[in-house]
Structure 1
Amino acid sequence: MEDSAHERDLVVGWLLHSVLKLHGTTDFSSRRYFSSWYFLFFGENGILKNVKDNTIQSKLRNERIDHVFFVSCLSGQVKVFRALYTFEPRTPDELYFEEGDIIYITDMSDTNWWKGTSKGRTGLIPSNYVAEQAESIDNPLHEAAKRGNLSWLRECLDNRVGVNGLDKAGSTALYWACHGGHKDIVEMLFTQPNIELNQQNKLGDTALHAAAWKGYADIVQLLLAKGARTDLRNNEKKLALDMATNAACASLLKKKQGTDAVRTLSNAEDYLDDEDSD
């Protein structure tokens, strides 16, 4: 029993670490995090309450739940799949979908039946069907942005796929929309109130770096009007201006930097005037 309890503590620690990391922190100093998530896993109605002799990893595996998927859903992230076969519902609560349909999984609190949406319809899907007969789509919003697929992008947003999610390169969907010159995609992403304009990827590049480098002056203009920063340098210490490949992009960036410099100087002078008046 001691070994089982020890293993339980180790695995719940791993789960907590994974969930908190997805929330942007790995700070365990607050007992509030530990107690709330531990109760979710092992409380009176906890997901893993009845796990005793078997390891928790085995429990997840036996239930055909991928641990990354498990953590993603617990943290409120939507997981996206493409159906490999048609699913015929047996009850009105179940979701009908056909081969090739995109399925958005939004709730897997029940290990046997998950809640999903496809083509505007919402219903229940057997969890083992998703695990065995559906293809996971990683970073669907990024894929839509890369391809310039506006209808798919809109569908992802309607189904609450995170707008600021990062792919393996550390890039956002906005970065790829700017990189590909897809103005309509950029404009659609700008309708999201929490859109992050200045996220730097693993190379240190922002969406503005990408647009300037690819020479899309219209997108550079959109980003600047939205408030994108011009003072961020990538890993090679280059500003977006340094990356500009045509005169139109360079001109827009120089003008913006000049305006920002004047504003900064004006603010400094106002501050000094206030100090003198004191």
Structure 2
Amino acid sequence: MERGMDPAVMGEAIETGMDPATSLKAMDPATSGKAMQRGMDPALYKAATQGKVASLRQLAAADPKILSSVTPQLNTALHLAALHGHSKFASEVLDKKSELLVAKNDDGDTPLHLAAKAGKLKVAELLVSVARAWQDDPNTADTSPNSPLLVTNNAGNTPLHEAVRKRRSAVAVMLLEADPNRGHDLNGRKESPLDMAAREGLVQVVRKIVDMPWVQGRFVFSVSGTALHQAVLGGHTKIVEILLEKCPDLIDQPDSDGNNALHYAAQKNHPHAVELLLNSRTELAYKPNGWMESPLHVAASYGSTEAIKALLRHCPDVAEMVDSEGRNAFHASIISGKMSALRCLLRHVRRPELLNRVDKHGNTPLHLAAQMSRVPSAVMLLNDRRVDPCVLNHKGQTARSLVEMKLPSGEMDAYEMYLWKQLKRQESIRCGKQQLPPLATYPSRRASNDKYFERIVETYILVATLIATVTFAATFTMPGGYHQEKGIALHGHKTAFKIFIISNTVAMCSSIIVVFCFIWAWQDPVKFKVDQLLWGHRLTVLACLAMLVSLMTAVYITVAPTARWPAYVVIAIGSSTPAVVFLILGREVIYVPL
């Protein structure tokens, strides 16, 4: 078998518009299989990857057809030279076989694609100069599907797409200088190089594209939005400024879900982008997306507190907007569970009626928090005097009655019990003259079906008992001992000793309270969860912290006078223990593990 593709086959492919790689695949199956199995001549492969021009000349002189051979991935010698940045080798190949300029490998990449991906500027400039010569040729004009600057790979990307995707700014700028109109070509994902450059933050590339006037198909609808959407999404405020100046029409273009650029800025919590967009077009704050959500709704859903502040500072009345379910930003923050957004809204929205706004089902934000068991959010709302706990929804339910619907079945956990207790208290204080749903009482003692309840109670009692025992023993074995004649502590005059006494007492007394509270847990588990479990957990945490302080002060009293560094190490370890626990468990450490 001959080593490479027949020149006649290659020439016919170029004349008929078929790229050489396709022609290679279209060869006789048996011949093609042998070629694929054999691959490129090892000497040519080594010369192409190392850029050895002299070796190429020797090989081409010995076998003129050798440049038609390809690797198993259909890479030609020109592909390899472009990938490794060997411009002199690539020039020699083009002198001998210029049609390889548009040869495609198995991924559909031409040599110019590979040079763009790898950022090999000199090779790319060489290939572009040859491509320009092709453009000047009537047979390979710019409208030709095989024009090197227009050829797309299997992903639909031109060389410019690939340069931008790989953040090769220098190559991208050079390609744009060769053909400025390529900045708006769409790939298989309906993305232009301008969109991709805006997302990647390539300021020079974006400026180069927008400086060139563009009319035909200027704004093509895209699932991912416009270049302005992409710039906001990436947080590139400089590019946002350029696009707002050069392409002001982009600001009115939504994505496939109806989101404008301000929705994206609100989602990503980019306050500077919010400021830029609102200064350019204030009405963006009032434009809903496909779900009738304003940018403030989106910011509340994603917990974007800085964006919330910026939106309310520019457009305070945007807080009045509701979505398709009649819900405002307060509802959105409850549904998403973003307490930071709810806290920010409570601080910056002053009107009480917005805090008590009802949706299509008559539910206020407090109703939703109670219904969805968002206990921290519900407690935060209850702590605000503007929130009305007496509002009835369309089913005649208050937030309290929604919570206590779980009470008879015993499905309510300790936090919901705590919320129920707080809602009852607020209703008794503020809703005395209103007709409300009947107040439920504690269910029977057997109502609780929590399978972990028994183990939790036993664990708390065990921990509290151990702490009480250890701290009690420490009272009679004071650090440093006693005076043999007077019977008083030797270090009683030291500040560290006084801290030891206080912390030891706090640990012991807290643990004793926990033991006594949990002894009667079995009498009424439901009432215990409401009234005692949360306090028992808090006191156990307090006892553990106090015991740590006792340990550190006791070691300091007895060890520091003779060896300071071990005492300091113990203090450092003890001080970091709560931080490590919080790092591992997060905020869960302050919650009852039910």
The alignment's TM-score, normalised by the length of structure 1, stands at: 0.49
| Higher alpha-carbon Rg | 2
The alignment's TM-score, normalised by the length of structure 2, stands at: 0.25
Q: Which has the higher helix share?
A: 2
Q: Which has the higher strand share?
A: 1
